[in-house]
Amino acid sequence: MKGRDVLVKALENEGVKVIFGYPGGASMEIHQGLTLTKKIRMVLPRHEQGGAFAAGGYARATGEVGVCLATSGPGATNLITGIIDAKMDSIPLVAITGQVPSTVLGSDAFQETDIMGATFPLVKHSYMIQNVAEIPRIINEAFHIARTGRPGPVLVDIPKDIQQQEGIADFDVSFDCPSYRPNVKPSVLQCKKAAHAIQTAKRPLIYAGGGIVSSGASEDLRAFVKKTGIPVTTTVMGLGSFPSNDPLSLRMLGMHGAVYANIAINHADLVIAMGVRFDDRVTGKLSEFCKNAQVIHIDIDPSEINKNILVDIPIQGDVKQALKILHGYVEPKKDIKPWIKQVQDWKKEFPLEFKLKKGEIVPQSVVSDINKLADKDAIFSVGVGQHQMWAAQFLDFEKPNNWLCSSGLGAMGYGLPAAMGAQVAFPNRQVINIEGDGSFLMNIQELQTLKIENIPVKNIVLNNAHLGMVAQWEDRFYKSLRGHTFIGDANFAEIAHAFGIKSESISDPKDVVPALKRMLKHKGPYVLDVKYPYNDKSHGHVMPMIPGNHTYLDTCLDASTSLRDYWTKKGLLP
């Protein structure tokens, strides 16, 4: 068999159903091989970055390994943003790149790039295949490494002459890599210590992250909460791991999280951190974060434990297994009723809300409206910016894997291709991409992929002619001096029409709900361009907001009031 055909067969053996790939000189042999398979769907993105993000969206929505494919040189380097996005958010991804023939490696041949060297700090592992016989083993290892332990991206680079070379391959392979043995089994002793701390705590709080989703531990978390009665707040990666509307849910915490969630975690006497990495957008000023609480940290990656926050009870291992062990040792928390009442009072005092403005579309209201109109199992994708945070604040999630968000990297241009990947995985479900105009423009070429491949993603573009999040920071910290954040008006309905996609543009608030209904009713892809003015005096800013490296007391409740000011006036400042 040719190397290319060995590769395709090895991918079939790993259960690959979809590959997002863009051909070029160094990868066209692989594409020739893929035309012969009946088991793998090949989706042609219109940019390699779009392909990498689509593979990531596919992986987030399914929990399976996403696969992208590119040629050498610029094709390979265009995958890098999608690769590091997968690394930072712990998404299982295998990126396959064609490479110049091995006979000219190191000679600066046409479109030669050391993609292994370029991605070395961005992947869990990388390979360059050097002969046909090792292809099955390497592909098996790549997928095993991508999906096990802390999930992440793996790169496989294949020189063109190896793709063309004929050889005999043995597909009867099993994983045998002694240097890769991630510990997934939590210490029972540490779990017992944690259970004791939980039983003695008076103000416990669960802080859940993306690890709950990636380990498939959502049901275990819900069972644990049902038994103990402990309230839950999640990171942006953890949305959907616990039902948003459950009475014990505090929704999202952090820079733009719910005020009550940030107050609660800083008043807790025990923080149970599950599958999180104490990101700066959550902690703010590290020295002040939860400084009076004991911390239990459950994480599969030992390097995350004590990295940012010194913890009292570390539990290294799979959070799903840890929850099962803990469940057997904890008892219902009957002594935390005063704490639960206090938390509920904070929820009533500081609700996530917005104000409507006569004659003007309010973007938060658009998100709230689509939340009511969409199917309960709809998958939502977002780009990066204000729209991303409004979506995180005002969408409700009952299940995991329904939220696609470039969280750690914060890559603009993520929303459309990620939604595309999820829709390919689930062709009969609603997949809705909520975008800002700046983010949408960055991978707008994927509209052609939606059209040609008949991928019915619904796109809502919140269009205020600004790079809204950067402009918000300019308003708050740079006296509204605009440093190139006005990007101008664009009619995305006309652009979508040029691609042959059904679309419309609206600017009147009374048109929002009817337009959303028309969009959802349409069978194919759709672009709804929602025009509204950027307004720093009312709904133009994402609120609440904790400024970078500040504490929860510095939360901006609105344009002029901080939580510190609010509590000082009431005589409640801690």
Query: pLDDT tens across 87-132, in order?
Result: 999 999 999 999 999 999 999 999 999 999 999 999 999 999 999 9
Answer yes or no: 252 catalytic: no
Q: Give the domain-ending residue among 301, 317, 349.
A: 349
Instruction: Provide the number of structural domains found in the chain.
Output: 3
The pair of three-digit structure tokens given for residue 40, joined into one six-digit string: 């793998």
Same domain, 338 and 372: no
* 173-187, 515-529, 534-548: the lowest-pLDDT one: 534-548
Query: What secondary structure does DSSP assign to 108-175, as a single string?
Result: --TT---HHHHHGGGSSEEEE--SGGGHHHHHHHHHHHHHSSS--EEEEEEEHHHHH-B---------
The percent of residues above 70 in pLDDT, for the chain, comes to 99
Does residue 437 sit in helix, strand or coil? Answer: helix
Same domain, 192 and 152: no
Residue type, 168: I
Task: Return the number of other C-beta atoms located less than 10 Å from residue 167's C-beta.
Answer: 14
Supply the range of the domain harboring residue 155. 3-164
pLDDT at 231 over 60: yes
What is the pLDDT averaged over residues 283-297?
96
Same domain, 156 and 250: no
> Distances in Å between the alpha carbon of 235 and those of 223, 240, 497?
19, 10, 37
Same domain, 430 and 309: no
Same domain, 121 and 229: no
Catalytic: which of 9, 14, 20, 48?
A: 48
Catalytic: which of 39, 110, 130, 353?
A: 110
Same domain, 341 and 316: yes
> 509: domain CATH number?
3.40.50.970
Same domain, 332 and 404: no
Same domain, 60 and 140: yes
CA distance 425 to 255: 32
Same domain, 14 and 156: yes
Burial class (CB in 10 A: 0-12, 13-18, 19+), 156: buried
Chain-centroid distance of CA 177 in Å reads 30
CA distance 166 to 518: 54
pLDDT at 58: 98
Residues, the chain, total? Answer: 574
pLDDT band at 203 (very low <50, low <70, confident <90, very high): very high
Q: Is residue 287 part of a domain?
A: yes
CA distance 296 to 313: 5
Q: Is residue 428 part of a domain?
A: yes
Burial class (CB in 10 A: 0-12, 13-18, 19+), 451: middle
Same domain, 139 and 284: no
Q: Is residue 289 part of a domain?
A: yes
pLDDT at 348: 97
Q: Is residue 555 part of a domain?
A: no
Same domain, 123 and 195: no
> Three-state secondary structure along 356-387?
CECCECCHHHHHHHHHHHCCCCCEEEECCCHH
Q: Is residue 571 part of a domain?
A: no
What is the pLDDT averaged over residues 425-441?
98
Q: Is residue 540 part of a domain?
A: no
pLDDT at 559: 81
What secondary structure letter does DSSP report for 10? H
Q: Give the domain-ending residue among 349, 378, 412.
A: 349
Catalytic: which of 9, 87, 160, 333?
A: 160
Q: What would the pLDDT profile of 318-335 be if each residue is shown by its tens digit?
A: 999 999 999 999 999 989
pLDDT at 572: 86
Q: Is residue 354 part of a domain?
A: no
Closest by CA position to 129, among listed 139, 117, 121 = 139
pLDDT at 535: 81
Answer yes or no: 160 catalytic: yes
Residue type, 102: S
Q: Tokens 């959907």 sit at which residue?
A: 240
pLDDT at 560: 86
pLDDT band at 459 (very low <50, low <70, confident <90, very high): very high
Same domain, 311 and 410: no
Catalytic: which of 252, 469, 519, 545?
A: 469
Answer yes or no: 48 catalytic: yes
| Mean predicted lDDT score pLDDT of the chain | 97
CA distance 410 to 85: 8
Q: What would the pLDDT profile of 474-525 be if each residue is shown by its tens digit?
A: 999 999 999 999 999 999 999 999 999 999 999 999 999 999 999 999 999 9
Q: Give the domain-ending residue among 314, 349, 384.
A: 349
pLDDT at 540: 83
> 195: domain CATH number?
3.40.50.1220
pLDDT band at 537 (very low <50, low <70, confident <90, very high): low
pLDDT band at 539 (very low <50, low <70, confident <90, very high): low
Answer yes or no: 469 catalytic: yes
The pair of three-digit structure tokens given for residue 141, joined into one six-digit string: 């290892």
Q: What would the pLDDT profile of 333-377 be if each residue is shown by its tens digit?
A: 989 999 999 999 999 999 999 999 899 999 999 999 999 999 999
Catalytic: which of 1, 17, 42, 111?
A: 111
Q: Is residue 552 part of a domain?
A: no
Q: What would the pLDDT profile of 370-409 be if each residue is shown by its tens digit?
A: 999 999 999 999 999 999 999 999 999 999 999 999 999 9
pLDDT at 538: 57
